[in-house]
Structure 1
């Protein structure tokens, strides 16, 4: 896949394959192109060329709503919540694609719409309970910490019932105890037959979670392998801490 903005190449021939049920990591230093790649996969950017397939279906250039119907959901580095809405209301936003009918039917409050809303509300509350946020269901989002915002956004993504979940720096800004809790949460998500791709700087989390990783540097694939192989690869060390520091460490 390639992504260009004007004369600037942001991604150059980046490609990888994620097997169903894997937890796959995208790592690299700042400016490596990780979030740009996520934005291409999730339909927020349109690649200049290449291919993106989900279960063998070409989805390159598809809108986020279309990708959701293919089972893709994502979180963002900076959670995009409705701050004056409650936690439960924010989570329920993830279910709009699961309501039957369309806007006209929803506005008429037909019986099947009401039944679906009731079932989705119960499911959202169960997700919050399972992820330690049941107590916050009726709390406004602006009363919660940044770390809890990430948990709310994750519940919203899970309410979409994704087959493929993209997590963009889920550990950013979290204290150690919450990172450990996040690791357990992502492992539990995999047990629900959800494939996970995670962008993260926190190498401890990457090492604890992932089956394989791709390392990006300046928009190119630097290497692919296990997290342990990445951590010991001289090219990766150089990309993260600089050539002089890498030479000193050697």
Structure 2
């Protein structure tokens, strides 16, 4: 079942530097939600707080009603959270299928000892994961590449592999960090289609950090705009693009005054 994500008064500091200040919003189950803002706005830092890679200085982050502030990433994966990264971290000389399966260890019963000994339940789980991974690769148009290695494939295909790896966790909440970064226009269109299919085929909540406003406009129900670590506005993508504060944050006050 798709998860609700709630942030309240999230603050993040590195030494004396304020990275995030009093950020809060709520993402409803099943929404596609955008997190946008200029470079240095704090978007990826906020993602890292949600996914457990950073520990906020204060505040609350909840998945449904469970507080997850400063929870380890592996524990969050068991609660149904998965994420992708701007630069996919793939094992370039392993097969695509192996790369997809690498992300699904939380679905295996037992622990490292039983996994290494390959006790019968582990073998059964691995066969199930392999079947699910192949099905996902087929669903996202990558079935042909299952036994190939990523080192002979494009950056756009790497993004697709990472997306399949995240989806193999069967997440209820998926965080996508700049999925369009480095993609040509034709591949951005293909990614938009993929996310639309995910939304129709899976019961999932999706949060996207992205600069590509065409993608944000095409996919999201609502967005939050950050600027210098603070929430600037919340609304639809079209409302954000028409908001004078957002225009000023993206292009600068002098340029906004000149445009006016």
Q: By how many angstroms is 1:213 displaced?
A: 0.2
**Could you tell me which residue of structure 1 aligns to residue 82 of structure 2?**
73
Q: Whole-Å Cα distance in 1 between the matches of residues 259 and 135 of structure 2?
A: 49
Confirm whether residue 60 of structure 1 aligns to residue 61 of structure 2: no
Classify the secondary structure of the residue corresponding to 1:132: coil
| Alignment partners' CA distance in 1, 2:189 and 2:104 | 28
Q: What's the TM-score, normalizing by structure 1?
A: 0.98
Moved more, 57-66 or 128-137: 128-137
> Which moves more between the two structures, 112-121 or 152-161?
112-121
Map residues 208-223 of structure 1 onto 2, 5 A cutoff.
208-223=218-233
What's the CA shift for 1:223?
0.3
Q: CA deviation at 1:108?
A: 2.2
**Which of 39, 48, 53 does residue 30 from structure 1 map onto?**
39
| In 1: Cα distance, 2:60 partner to 2:199 partner | 25
2:143 equivalent to 1:134: yes
Task: Give deviations 1:215-241, integer Å, cap 9, x for gaps.
Answer: 000000000000000000000001111
Worse-matched range after superposition: 24-33 or 105-114: 105-114
SS of corresponding position for 2:232: strand
Could you tell me which residue of structure 2 aligns to residue 116 of structure 1? Answer: 125
Match among 152, 173, 177 for residue 168 of structure 1 = 177
Q: 1:106 maps to which residue?
A: 115
Q: How far does the alpha carbon of each residue in 1:55-79 deviate from its partner, in whole angstroms, 9 at most, with x for none?
A: 1100000000000011000000011
Offset of 1:106 from its aligned partner?
1.7
Match of 2:152 among 143, 160, 163: 143
Instruction: Provide the C-alpha distance between the structure 2 equivalents of 1:88 and 1:200, rounded to a whole number of angstroms.
Output: 27
> Residue 214 of structure 2 is aligned with which of 198, 204, 209?
204
Partner Cα separation in structure 1 for residue 195 and residue 258 of structure 2: 36
Runs of 4+ in 1 over 4 A off after TM superposition: none
The answer as to 2:49 corresponding to 1:40 is yes
Alignment of 1:154-193 (within 5 A): 154-191=163-200, 192-193=202-203
Q: Does 1:15 pair with 2:37? A: no
TM-score (norm 2): 0.94
Gapped runs of 5+ residues in structure 2? 1-9
* 1:43 counterpart SS class: coil
Tell me which moved more, 106-115 or 162-171.
Answer: 106-115
Residue 4 (structure 2) aligns with: none
Following the alignment from structure 1 to structure 2, what is the Cα–Cα distance between the partners of residues 162 and 144?
26
5+ residue gaps, structure 1, are none
Q: Which has the higher strand share?
A: 2
The alpha carbon displacement at 1:248 in A equals 2.2
Root-mean-square deviation (CA), in Å? 0.8
User: Which aligned pairs between 1:224-235 and structure 2 lie closer than 5 A?
Assistant: 224-235=234-245
Aligned residues: 250
